[in-house]
A = this chain, B = another copy of it.
């Protein structure tokens, strides 16, 4: 006869009845509010244990207007970046006592984003992280004009919504500089797809780095993040005797490039140097191991959630437009000095 109504799990009222107090007192014990005598507290706790009481999060949310849940909007991709970011966010959220509800959108367009955000709103999430690596999402984010706090991750600058990201431009410059410092006259580039913000930022960084070195960047080859596209670009680069160094916008494409170069008998790094971006776990074991730019996604998630938490908790808090995390260069074997 532990449970009042068999079947359903015990409610706060059941506990109150069992402990011989009012529901309110149980609620106070539950939420560790003061003003409960030690003896009743113990009695209530005993009752809770006895019926294995678990507070109903929904009911609490409804009463409070808050859900202790954060929403994450991401899109349908197995890409390393977004996937890692979600994990980082989830972990950080959990550490701060939030649950996480995920909504995946199929296409990164205005309507899909809007409806994802609305559906998270319906679930009364306290805040959202939108992973928005597409240029097309910038406008959509701006148009939301909303109440519950939103933080964009891996996004470009669009005003309105605060951004948390890893400094793509800096990463690209680190990679390019690494190559230039080996003495390469110029650095070629395989870019990501044009509709990704990060792709543009990496290309911009690559183009900007030579600076006053008096080097003009050659035209970039367009990739689409896949190893396949890196392979195709590699086939073209292999035929161009003037190419001695390539900055590739991600590690998968760099893998494709390495594959193509190997097929063509171009040795890396002796004949051609390659630097990638992302530092996926595999890249240390490419042939040769890949010099690349590491992004700390766990950190990204932590920063995004911390920011969001503040926005949720403190009404007066005004967030910076932009929080950038510094990436770092990982030097391995795929880049070296040009052969004389």
Contacts and interface: CB of A to CB of B under 8 A. Distances in A.
A135 to B, nearest CB: 23
A98 to B, nearest CB: 11
Contacts of A76: 87, 91
A281 B259 contact: no
Contacts of A28: none
A264 interface: no
B227 A55 contact: no
Contacts of A228: 284-285
Interface stretch (A14-22, A58-66, A195-203, A212-220): A58-66
Contact of A122 (B54, B80, B83, B90): B54
A118 B94 CA distance: 15
A231 B285 contact: yes
A124 interface: yes
A87 B74 CA distance: 10
Contacts of A318: none
Given A62-B62, A100-B102, A285-B259, A56 B118 contact: no
The interface residues of chain A, by DSSP majority, are classed as helix
A242 interface: no
Contacts of A99: 101, 103, 119, 123
Given A62-B58, A78-B84, A252 B227 contact: no
Interface string A254-272: 0110110010000000000
A57 interface: yes
A58 B56 contact: no
A54 B121 contact: yes
Contacts of A9: 121, 147
A213 to B, nearest CB: 32
Contact of A100 (B55, B61, B101, B259): B101
A29 interface: no
Contact of A282 (B55, B91, B255): B255
Q: Which 4 A-B pairs have the closest CB atoms?
A: A227-B285, A57-B122, A259-B285, A57-B123
